[in-house]
Amino acid sequence: MLKANFPQDALSWNRFDKLTPHITKYIDILWKSDGIHISLMPDLPFLLKDAAVYLYERARYGEAERLFLMNAHIWEQLLGEDNNPYLASTFNSLANIYKDLTKMDKAEIFYQKALSTWDRASDLPQLEEFNADIAHTFNSLANFYRKGGEFDVAILFYKQASSILDKLSIKLSDKVFPLIGLAGTLVIQHKLEEAEYIYIELLDIYEQERDWDNTDFAHIISGLATLYQKQNRLEEAEQLYLNSLHIREEFLGPTHPHVASILNNLAYLYHASEQYEKAEQFFLRAVDIYQNAYGAEHIQVSLPLFGLAKIYYQQGNYKKAEELFLQTLYIQEQSLGTESERILPVLVLLYDMYQKEEKLDKADLFEKRYKDILKKDKQ
């Protein structure tokens, strides 16, 4: 009954928020019993997966992790560790959670477990049925390496995922997700013409299928907005960001981290056009969403915090700016280390601010740190 009534797409998520506690309670009762007799409940692992995916998409990571771990245990008991595509898919899902939580070492372990499990299942005659799942694993690995700054490796995995999907008899809009990631990576690499070509192709696909109200489409137009922002086409970028924000709020809810990412992008756009009041409003909302979803010290929180700090610095509110710059630096150091080149922008602005305040001892300290990191990177 629960399986039959579980939501299969984002459109129906809001109607099923009340169903989730009943599913998790049902699963807990079974889990705590003397044993799960899977022969009597063949739908249980699939119900677990549906519930876990739902919780993951709603950014309820702790609950999703628990159900995916249960699912992995059940599939291991049922089919063992070899020739087990369901286990490989579950490992990939767990890795995605750890990646989103910036537990990168743990994420890498589970991605490798997913790959090795797919490899051991390569002789299964029915493996072709799982090609879409294999493509999702390659796409997830691409996202992982992109997040770690290994863009060329990421591009290889995006292309592998796309190549697998191209051979499947599924609608075109179900094949686009690796291309979305590929285009976004090209934007990061400042290969804007290549990226724009892919984005326009993707928009043509959605135009053909008239399938605009979904989160993949929102991702495409937000990626194109970022590209336009880099080209200083700010009005076009703003409209695309606002359209993406509307879709994500409708499908994911107003407090989802994917909503916060668009708020953060809009805030930086308004900051660039000196609309500081609007920028501050969007940055504050993004901080609140990220903190509630991930915790106060997650790396994502540092993005809007840094933006807020820059606004206060430019407005001459050095006390507020210093507090947020130092908070940003602390978060980034916890996640990236004290010698990462990615902390350089914060160090530079702290140096500039202390120079203006004539706090020369502090300025010298941050200047030295900045130069030490640059020197180390050149070695």
Instruction: Give the pLDDT confidence of 277-295 residue by residue, as tens digits.
Output: 999 999 999 999 999 999 9
Each residue's pLDDT tens digit, 74-103: 898 888 888 899 999 999 999 999 998 888
Phi and psi torsions of 139, nearest 5°: -65, -40
Show the tokens assigned to 321: 């700016």
Query: According to the model, what pLDDT value does residue 229 have?
Result: 95
- Does position 124 have pLDDT exceeding 70, yes or no? yes
Rg of the chain in Å (alpha carbons) = 23
CB 248, CB 217: distance < 8 Å:
no
* Average pLDDT across the chain, whole number: 88
SS3 141: helix
What's the confidence (pLDDT) of residue 123?
77
pLDDT in tens, 195-237: 999 999 999 998 887 766 678 899 999 999 999 999 999 999 9
pLDDT band, very low/low/confident/very high, at 11 (cuts 50, 70, 90)? very low
DSSP state of 29: H
Nearest to 48 by CA among 66, 32, 36, 62: 66
Whether 37 shows a pLDDT value over 60: the answer reads: no
Say if residue 34's pLDDT is above 60. Answer: no
- Strand intervals (E) in the chain: none
> Percent of the chain scored above 70 by pLDDT?
87
Q: What's the gap between Cα 157 and its chain centre? A: 16
